[in-house]
Structure 1
Amino acid sequence: MQPRNSRLNSSALRGAVDLAAVKAAGEAAQKAEQARAERARQAEAGIAPDPSAYPLVIDVTEDTFETEVVQRSTEVPVVIDFWAEWCEPCKQLSPMLERLAEEYAGRIVLAKIDVEANQLLTQQFGIQGVPAVMAVVAGQLVPLFQGAESEANVRKVLDQLILVAEQRFGVVGGAGAPAEAPGEAGPYLPEDPALAAAHEALDRGDLGGAIQAYQNVLVDEPGNTEAKLGLAQAELLRRVEGLDLATVRAAAAADPKDVEAQLKAADLDLVGGHVEDAFGRLVATVGRTFGEDRDTVRLRLLELFEVIGSEDPRVTAARGALARVLF
């Protein structure tokens, strides 16, 4: 996300709205389990859910963002539609998102944010054009896509979001949908103390400490997905500290063969939510470089894949593009 001074710092991925990066996953799983248990209790008692208590499409403002988006994201993935009255593509995309939110019957909630009326949120998220669609899961920001998309592509993105929310964060939607059977979601598992320490270091801005802590976890558990994600995020945040957005982009545009400039620009693209731009920039740079430079860019691209997550369809597409350039 892009703060108002156009500089990206250690709070860039969390921002003024305090989007807790990976730490919230365990807490979210516990809250989601409690919510499911309560819905199951009501179902057993013959209490029908009140649809008005679980609106699937909500208008969100700067004043209600914390409650309606961040807190709600501990129970259900919240998709954010940044729109404007003057935006023609928004007039096609927004109704589609509203219809899909109803169709998904509580597995997602759609939060609509008018960029003209909520300019602080717009700046904090680094929104540079509308429509722009992001999500918040367990307090963590998940960029989805920018610009108009076909319904088929939107469905794929939403399906992938729900899968990641369930598998990585333990967030299983269902607000307003029939209650699940008791115990169906599995028990809540307490967070590993070493991983919790790494998350806490990341949250307080101790990037060096967070990186070391995540690396320590991975020494003992090389396959720990959450630690890999946290490490990739911490390393990205440290790389963009102190970078000026305009300066970096100007340097990258001036010399497409400048590897360091392209790496910095891709990092800033990713932090700003422009995932496809970041991936596309590095894939193109791989195609223009050779030897050690090519390996450097390729490895950075793989690191950015870790930040987004291997399940994300944009990562799958970028992997295919990278393979075509390499081979």
Structure 2
Amino acid sequence: MIILTIPVKVDSSNWELEVNKSEKPVLVEFWHQLCVWCKKLDPLIDEAARIFADKLKIAKIDILSSRENTQIAEFFGVMGTPTLILFCRGRPMESIVGYHPKETLFVEIQRMIDSYKECFGQHTPLEKRLTFYG
């Protein structure tokens, strides 16, 4: 049986569950529909979601689709798109900014996985919640 793995779509309504409480590290792509480089990155992100499925979750957040999503991007210091941030239990660990070719991107993702594979067991997490003001 073939299991299709695609990036999880996240937004302010499911961020806590999908990113902060994830059992695996989460690589989140911050993107928006007007970003040409984001569109070029799409097939690589889809492929990475399949290749690295056993090691991490890949998610995408459209930062311009709502005010709350924009606030999430601002909270984590996103200055341009595409930006990929690796999270461990909601904590940002490392980022990749801009478009990179497949070989470079996948080597970088694997390096991040190798660098942070122990992240769950080597810290005491503090409770951190995002609060969005309307």
Classify the TM-score, shorter chain. 0.7 to 0.9
The alpha-carbon deviation at position 143 of structure 1 amounts to: 2.6
- Residue 92 (structure 1) shift: 1.1
The number of residues matched between the two structures is 124
Structure 1 residue corresponding to 2:87, chosen from 136, 150, 165: 136
* Mapped pair 1:154 → 2:105: yes
Return the alpha-carbon distance in structure 1 between the equivalents of residues 117 and 76 of structure 2: 24
In structure 2, C-alpha distance between the alignment counterparts of 1:160 and 1:56, rounded to whole Å? 21
**1:249-268 equivalent positions in 2, closer than 5 A:** none
> Identical aligned pairs, as a percentage?
24
| Structure 1 counterpart of 2:25, from 74, 77, 85 | 77
CA RMSD of aligned residues (A): 2.5
Distance 1:139 1:119, change over 3 A: closer
Alpha-carbon separation, structure 2, partners of 1:110 and 1:168: 17
Correspondence 1:86 to 2:34:
yes
Is 1:64 aligned to 2:5, yes or no?
A: no
Partners of 1:148 and 1:121 in 2: CA distance: 21
CA offsets 1:28-62 (integer angstroms, 9 cap, x no match): xxxxxxxxxxxxxxxxxxxx9xx59xx55110011
Mapped to 1, the partners of 2:119 and 2:11 lie a distance apart of: 28
Structure 1 window deviating more from structure 2 (76-85 vs 95-104): it is 95-104
Question: What is the aligned counterpart of 2:60 among 104, 112, 135?
Answer: 112
Q: Which has the higher helix share?
A: 1
CA distance in 1, matches of 2:37, 2:62: 14
Give the Å deviation of 1:108.
1.6
Partners of 2:94 and 2:108 in 1: CA distance: 11
Assess, with a 3 A threshold, how the Cα gap between structure 1 residues 116 and 168 changes in structure 2: closer, same or farther.
closer
User: 1:317 maps to what in 2?
Assistant: none
Higher-strand-fraction structure: 2
Structure 1: stretches of 5+ with no match in the other structure: 1-47, 171-190, 205-327
TM-score where L is the length of structure 1: 0.35
1:126 Cα deviation from its structure 2 partner: 1.8
Whether the 8 Å CA contact 1:84–1:115 is kept in 2: the answer is: yes
For 2:63, the aligned partner's letter is V
Post-superposition shift, 1:168?
4.2
Deviations 1:58-85 (A, max 9, x none): 100111100011101xx21100001111
The structure having more radius of gyration, on CA atoms, is: 1
